Amino acid sequence: MSILYNALPSLGQVLLVAVLLTLMSGRLVKDKQLHRVSVAILLSLGMFVPVYGLTFAQWLRSVVGDLSVLSLVIFSNILAQRLFNLKLLEASARNTLLAGVALVGVVFYPLALGVSAFDPYRLGYAPVLMSAVLSIFSIYAWLKINRLLAIILLLPLLAFNLHLLESTNLWDYLIDPILLIYALTQLLVNNEFLRFKQMRAWFGK
């Protein structure tokens, strides 16, 4: 059980370190093969070589905590694309996902941090309502948008049922501050707020 319990947090650490290394070294190493090798070597160091008793990944975990399941999906996509020229997610599905994260995140975090008496984080403890909403979005995505996106929207629920993170709250399987920062950055940098228009079109304006 402890292996299962630690699998997802460990995968999150691997992916986060790998993404950081990939993005940083991508500017220095242009050759794809060399880039993959350098990331693999640095990743091994980051994951296994302790500095003051903890590995780089554990130091990172000390600050950012565990990543959500949707972060794992997005980060896996970044690695596949940057290191292997593979696109796990179609651009439209990725952008829809990031737009959704940004939209939810900018409302969710201030409320969860005490701005109002309403605490949306509480909905994640016995998340019948949240599961219903996620299922409706997933079914809509299956029928109208992208089938992979439909499945991705169910992954946090599956991981929550198996208690694969330390948290007992569904929100922590769905979203995390690192993902929100990444989503906002991507939307701003790529001027992808225009995609909201596309989302509006999908959801019938």
Partner 1 sequence: MIIDSYSSILKLAAYVLLLLAAVAPVVYRNLPQVAQAEFVIERESQLKESQPNMTLGYACEDCLVPAVHGASIIEKLDGGLLATWFGGSREGGKDVVLWGADLSPGNKGWSTPRRIVGPAETRAALGRYIKTVGNSVLVRGAQNELWLYYVTVSVGGWAGSSLNAIRSLDDGKSWDAPRRLISSPFFNISTLNKSAAIHYSDGSIGLPVYHEFIGKFSELLYLDSRGQVSDKTRITQGRLAIQPLLLPLAPQQAIALMRDTGPRPGRVLASRSDDAGQHWTKEEKLTLPNPDSAVAGLRRPNGSLLLVFNDTESGRHSLALAMSRDDGRSWQTVRHFEQAVEGKNEFSYPYLIRSSNGSMHLLYTWNRKRIRHISFNDSWVDGGRP
Binding residues for partner 1 (CB under 8 A): 53-54, 58-59, 61-65, 108-109, 112-117, 119, 121-122, 125-128, 131-132, 134-135, 138-139, 142, 147, 150-151, 154, 157-158, 160-161, 165-172, 175-177
Least spacing, CB of residue 123 vs partner 1, in Å: 10
- Residue with Cβ nearer partner 1 (34 or 115): 115
Least spacing, CB of residue 49 vs partner 1, in Å: 15
- Residue with Cβ nearer partner 1 (63 or 201): 63
Least spacing, CB of residue 61 vs partner 1, in Å: 6
Least spacing, CB of residue 126 vs partner 1, in Å: 4
Cα(76)–Cα(89) distance, rounded to whole angstroms?
10
Least spacing, CB of residue 194 vs partner 1, in Å: 28
- Residue with Cβ nearer partner 1 (70 or 192): 70
- Residue with Cβ nearer partner 1 (79 or 178): 178
CA distances from 86 to 90, 95, 146 (A): 10, 16, 18
What is the SS3 assignment for 121-180?
Answer: HHHHCCCHHHHHHHHHHHHHHHHHHCHHHHHHHHHHHHHHHCCCCCCCCCHHHHCCHHHH
Q: Are 21 and 46 in contact (CB under 8 A)?
A: yes
Cα(8)–Cα(198) distance, rounded to whole angstroms?
33
